[in-house]
Structure 1
Amino acid sequence: MKQTILRRDFIRTTTIAGIGAAVLNNLPRSFGRSVLQNEMRVGIIGLDTSHSVAFTKSLNTPGKAAELQGFKVVAAYPKGSNDIESSVKRIPGYIEDVKKLGVEIVGSEEELLKKVDVVLLETNDGRPHLEQALKVIKAKKPFFIDKPVAASLSDVISIYESAKRNNVPIFSSSSLRYMESVQDVVKGKAGAVLGADTFSPATLEKTHPDLFWYGIHGVEILFSVMGTGCSEVRRVHTNNTDIVIGTWKDGRVGTFRGTRTGTHDYGGTAYGEKGNITLGPFKGYDNLLVQILEFFKTGKAPVVPEETLEIYAFMEAADESKRKSGATVSIESVIQKATKR
């Protein structure tokens, strides 16, 4: 699906798949070797999410697991959201939490980038992510960008395009992708996946597109087991639940159910040729952290950019379907619209 992407000082024709391939194929060959020589200094941007504290505890606590060795969080820039209360009120407490773990608090992103080798971009608010990511990319620091990648599909595309142009490794994923049961499906224990149903909370945040804020978790589970290739999306609403129905190019159907009330449960079912696998439960962040550290070692993202871009296009198409009273919306149409902004 080709689109013309206009971004500030350049116009070029590309494909979603091309974005991903270019990022992976143009990494510096010496990257993996150089970062393995010494303990890598990890910097965190954003102390307004529990992820920042969880990652720091795992990396900075003595006696950590072997797969977490060789990395330490050394600095953090705490500023996160300006106006999301649930994020802003966390910052003072999280500053104290990471300081107790030996982390230096710095006054700017630029100061942080001078002190670290790699970056965890953790700001809970996706709106400043483009500006923050561009600073990291300019500094040539490989980075993990936590959910949501951005607060618009257009910004998501811009971040990945900029990383590609500058040969900077980038990786994003929900921790739900690395639940053991989901990875069982990825490894083929259910055989070829014929379809899947997933669910997660989908709490609303007025500053973000509907599913970008929290529905991303269940959508990421869906794409983890179904793979890429969704062509169209339809969304329906019933009883405090939004259901998004995706049709893949090969005819398979995958659904995401976003719950608006109740407990924070995550899971679903993958339907395979060898049988069905129940997805869940979520047990913590360390499985994702292991993947992030391997990414920092190699410069190769375990989730290719085209899959991440399709996930956000899926959520944008779900919003567009809602605006159109449940009409079917193509993935290609929302990507084309986002690239014209």
Structure 2
Amino acid sequence: MIKIGMIGMSPGNAHPYSWSAIINGKYDVNEINNAGFPAVSDYLEANKDTLGVLGAQVTHIWCDEINRAKSIAISGQIEYVVQNLEDMIGEVDAIILGRDDPENHWELAKPFLDANIPIFIDKPLAINLDELISYEQYIKNGRFLMSCSSMRYSAEILAAKSSIQSLGKIHLLTVVGKKDWKKYGVHMVEATMSLLNDPKALSVQYLGKDGYDIVLLEINTECYASIHLINDITGTFQVSVYGENAWLSIDIKNSYSMFKENILEFVKSLNQKKPTLDFNKTKNVIQIVAAALKSKNLSGEKINL
């Protein structure tokens, strides 16, 4: 049995509740609803027959608020609530850092990287390129680190990849979602890069404003992605792809499916003792996300990658 320690949580991000439920096969609707995440309990209820990951268990939980850790433990039937982050070292086989506040990831992850404990870090891994270089150095030294947006494992994106060649040469992608670039831009970039088999893009330019994040991604000299994250719109994530022969629209709705597949890939990686996701793909995504923020800070200057 792989014993997993969960690090959580950041404001508005329910992954420690949902991912613990997906792995342990247990959840408490009242705890999740009282925490403010009824949509999570809804999709767990709808998929309760498929909950649980064979050979893995979330056994430990740490949060910077002990009462939140206790709530997650009650919901997911996690045996141990630890007072200090480092208390999990020597007690677990792997860590999931289930927070989406990238400015805190490095401080939270470093003790486990130093201890050579495999870790999955929730999206986005970093928005600071110096930290990205530091993570890469751990990879070069043989540490196990995996990080991505679960959008990479979206059932809708994977289905579209199987037919994308029929579109012919692709010239444009429009990508639409909600919330802000710092936390959710990685979703849009991960979906785009994964769909196109992770090309190295040429440049990034920020064209929006606060609440209306608009980013132009030059994938090559004949293909662009226009990415839009609007804070106050409703709807799901959508990707439209326009090729010389045809076009397709991808409506990404099934959050549970992508979370489950992401977790299964992490557990498979643990069993193989090597991430199934090449870190260079993660690096590529994070460089784009960070470059867009740099462009924003430089009043929309085009950033070459």
TM-score normalised per structure 1: 0.72
Gapped regions of structure 1 (runs ≥ 5): 1-38, 80-87, 204-210, 332-341
Match of 2:179 among 202, 213, 217: 202
Look up the match of 1:132: 108
CA-CA distance at 1:70 after TM superposition: 0.8
CA distance in structure 2 between the partners assigned to 1:75 and 1:214 by the alignment? 27
CA-CA distance at 1:66 after TM superposition: 8.7
Relative distance call for 1:151 and 1:291 in structure 2 (3 A) is same
Look up the match of 2:31: none
2:300 aligned with 1:326: yes
2:160 aligned with 1:185: yes
**Contact in 2 for aligned 1:198/1:255 (Cα 8 Å):** yes
Match of 2:186 among 216, 229, 232: 216
CA distance in structure 2 between the partners assigned to 1:92 and 1:193 by the alignment? 53
Letter in 1 for 2:150: S
SS at match of 1:221: helix
CA-CA distance at 1:219 after TM superposition: 1.8
CA distance in structure 2 between the partners assigned to 1:217 and 1:180 by the alignment? 14
Q: Describe how 1:40-119 pairs up with structure 2 within 5 A.
A: 40-48=2-10, 49-61=13-25, 65=50, 68-79=53-64, 92-93=67-68, 95-103=70-78, 104-119=80-95
Q: Describe how 1:1-341 pairs up with structure 2 within 5 A.
A: 39-48=1-10, 49-61=13-25, 65=50, 68-79=53-64, 92-93=67-68, 95-103=70-78, 104-165=80-141, 167-191=142-166, 194=170, 195-203=172-180, 211-226=181-196, 227-237=198-208, 240-249=211-220, 251-263=222-234, 265-272=236-243, 275-284=246-255, 285-331=259-305
Relative distance call for 1:261 and 1:281 in structure 2 (3 A) is same
- Give the alignment's Cα RMSD to 1 decimal: 2.6
**Contact in 2 for aligned 1:241/1:257 (Cα 8 Å):** yes
CA-CA distance at 1:93 after TM superposition: 4.1
**Contact in 2 for aligned 1:153/1:313 (Cα 8 Å):** yes
Bigger mean CA offset, 193-202 vs 306-315:
193-202
Relative distance call for 1:161 and 1:46 in structure 2 (3 A) is same
CA-CA distance at 1:125 after TM superposition: 2.3
Relative distance call for 1:145 and 1:238 in structure 2 (3 A) is closer
**Contact in 2 for aligned 1:190/1:271 (Cα 8 Å):** no
CA-CA distance at 1:308 after TM superposition: 1.5
SS at match of 2:301: coil
Relative distance call for 1:135 and 1:59 in structure 2 (3 A) is same
Aligned length: 275
**Contact in 1 for aligned 2:97/2:119 (Cα 8 Å):** yes
Give aligned-pair identity as a percent: 20
CA distance in structure 2 between the partners assigned to 1:241 and 1:124 by the alignment? 20
**Contact in 2 for aligned 1:181/1:278 (Cα 8 Å):** no
CA distance in structure 1 between the partners assigned to 2:154 and 2:91 by the alignment? 33
CA distance in structure 2 between the partners assigned to 1:303 and 1:255 by the alignment? 26
Letter in 2 for 1:198: V
Letter in 2 for 1:235: Y
Q: Deviations over 1:282-330 (max 9, x none)?
A: 3122222222222222233343212211222212222232333333210
CA distance in structure 1 between the partners assigned to 2:227 and 2:69 by the alignment? 32
SS at match of 1:120: strand
CA-CA distance at 1:51 after TM superposition: 0.5
CA distance in structure 1 between the partners assigned to 2:262 and 2:245 by the alignment? 27
CA distance in structure 2 between the partners assigned to 1:58 and 1:72 by the alignment? 10
SS at match of 2:208: strand
CA-CA distance at 1:272 after TM superposition: 4.7
Relative distance call for 1:193 and 1:309 in structure 2 (3 A) is farther
**Contact in 2 for aligned 1:225/1:270 (Cα 8 Å):** no
